[in-house]
Amino acid sequence: MQAILYIAHGSRVKAGVDQAVAFLQGVQQEVQVSIQEICFLELATPTIGEGIANCVRQGATRIAIVPILLLAAQHAKEDIPIEIAKAQKLFPHILFSYGEPLGIHERIIDSLQARILEKQQPKHEASVLLIGRGSSDPAVKRDLAEIAARLRMKYNYQTVDTCFLYGMGPSFDDWLQQEKERQHQVFIVPYLLFTGILRQSIAKRLQGLSNNNMVLCESLGYDVNVKKVLVERINELLHFKEEGVS
């Protein structure tokens, strides 16, 4: 019997966990699979191991692992595969398949524009800053740069810069130091899925500035476009498995 295990990141902020659960409960309604469970990488329960065990307990013989992650970094490439390998030893009769993060997708570009328009209409000379969580994986920097380039071209921004809260640069602090006197309108969009401590820290750093040209937008979030991209990733994974590749 087929099961799907959704792996969200987790957060110390309860609202972030609640947002993920509510979003994934909506996704579950779009997917015709009888066993669907939600778990978390860290900072919340159930854990990945507990999520897998919950699927097995309900009779699953095949488990499709779906990471609720924006980009492929350490969590997607190392942490989750390690947990799958542990589970494979515990449940050798289970066939596991593993999906892709949300990645680069045109719908997500549209969602970034929607976060900007929620604040105000961009002026002709407006720019955008996308703030990523951060990683030591160079692929994350490359992928966010590609997303920035697509946003700039599709919606005709003067520039779309990228920075990160930790890991490899440029850092948000470096960007602020260079751009705090910027005279043109700049929309700052946290490239994050949920409300949490990271967005709060961005807002706190901006509070000390007197520059009214910097507009902090809501995080990318779990909107309808993100939902459609995730359902697409799930369908890709289930079709891939049905073709006999796991």
For residue range 100-143, list pLDDT tens digits in order: 999 999 999 999 999 999 999 999 999 999 999 988 899 999 99
Indicate the number of domains in the chain. Answer: 2
Q: For residues 8 and 86, state if they share a domain.
A: yes
Domain boundary among 75, 100, 125: 100
**Residue 245 clears pLDDT 60, i.e. is over it:** no
Q: DSSP H helical segments within 63-222, as ranges?
A: 74, 80-90, 106-119, 138-155, 172-179, 197-207
Residue 229: its H or E element: helix 224-242
What's residue 240's pLDDT? 55
In order of 145, 160, 189, 202, 229, the CA distances from 163 in angstroms are 9, 10, 11, 12, 24
* Structural domain that includes position 144: 104-214
What's residue 241's pLDDT? 53
Q: For residues 78 and 109, state if they share a domain.
A: no
What's residue 136's pLDDT? 87
| Contact status, residue 130 vs residue 162, Cβ threshold 8 Å | yes
Q: For residues 80 and 2, state if they share a domain.
A: yes
Q: For residues 109 and 96, state if they share a domain.
A: no
**Residue 243 clears pLDDT 50, i.e. is over it:** no
| Contact status, residue 33 vs residue 62, Cβ threshold 8 Å | no
